Amino acid sequence: MRIATWNVNSIRQRLGHVLAFLKEAEPDALCLQELKCVDADFPRAEIEEAGWQVAIHGQKGFNGVAIISRSKLEDVRRGLPGDESDEQARYLEGVLPLGSGVVRLASIYLPNGNPPNTEKYPYKLAWMERLAVHAKGLLAHEEPLVLAGDYNVIPEPRDARDPAAWTGDALFLAPTRTAFRKLQSLGFTEALRASTDAPGLYTFWDYQAGAWQRNNGIRIDHLLLSPQAADRLGAVSIAKHVRGWDKASDHVPVLIELN
């Protein structure tokens, strides 16, 4: 099974890119983030006409997550539990067939948290704590589980071309990285770092200051695997070339293979 994650930074602006990537990469499931539209405005018809199933959790103008898959997503959960007052569309979860069993898959758009001296940063950390609580419960099912998405976390200095430029940013602050390690310590394997220790691997290049042209990137899109999923992990890749497409998202897809 091939699973990909991609922050498309507006599905309506990037529909052509999504269809092209689906045709090129042929994933079994593609987790999308930052849809920037409500469910009714998602281009469902165009994607279904191309032969795909769609599950959506959208929000007007902001956020929004989706899972595009070959098989219909079952046991769908929209929204991260733990705070009924949270109306931000950042979490979508469901189950897909995998061999004789299933894989549970989540598309995650973790809060950015900037500026860190505002209420946005405590919200980010609280959201990460809620994710850890929910993820711990999911691990108890002892099934292949993939938490995929834009985590807005730079895990280590090697995950940024210029770490010093990010020292005061919510993506790289010590509490952010500590919360990410706490999530991993529940028993998750970070897919890319399970396959390589190489530096210079990025998934995001800002639109400003020629970041893409200078390869001034950061790695903030991750796939965390339960032990049962990690045992099946094969290839891991970053579709870096997608950032060079015309009017591209500032993120690129990350793909894994589960055997």
Q: Are strands 91-98 and 74-78 parallel, antiparallel or unpaired?
A: antiparallel
pTM of the model: 0.97
C-alpha–C-alpha distance, residues 145 and 105, integer Å: 6
pLDDT at 256: 98
Q: Are 27 and 107 in contact, with CB atoms under 8 Å apart?
A: no
Do the bridges between strand 29-33 and strand 2-7 make them parallel or antiparallel, or are there none, so unpaired?
A: parallel
pLDDT of 187 reads 97
Residue 204 CA to residue 22 CA, distance in Å, equals: 20
Q: What's the pLDDT score for residue 209?
A: 86
Asked if 144 contacts 127 with a C-beta cutoff of 8 angstroms, the reply is no
What's the pLDDT at 99?
84
pLDDT tens profile 45-99: 999 999 999 999 999 999 999 999 999 999 999 999 999 999 999 999 999 999 8
Q: Which domains does the chain have, with CATH numbers?
A: 2-258 (3.60.10.10)
Q: Which two tokens stand for residue 115?
A: 């500026």
Residues 81 and 102: their CA atoms lie apart, in Å, by 22
Q: How many CB atoms lie within 10 A of CB 253?
A: 27
Residue where the block lists tokens 């042209």: 213
SS (H, E, C) the chain: CEEEEEECCCCCCCHHHHHHHHHHHCCCEEEEECCCCCHHHCCHHHHHHCCCEEEEECCCCCCCEEEEECCCCEEEEECCCCCCCCCCCCEEEEEEEECCEEEEEEEEECCCCCCCCCCHHHHHHHHHHHHHHHHHHHHCCCCCEEEEEECCCCCCHHHECCHHHHCCCCCCCHHHHHHHHHHHHCCCEEHHHHHCCCCCCCCECCCCCCCCCCCCCECCEEEEECHHHHCCEEEEEECHHHHHCCCCCCECCEEEEEC
Q: Which residues of the chain have pLDDT under 50?
A: none
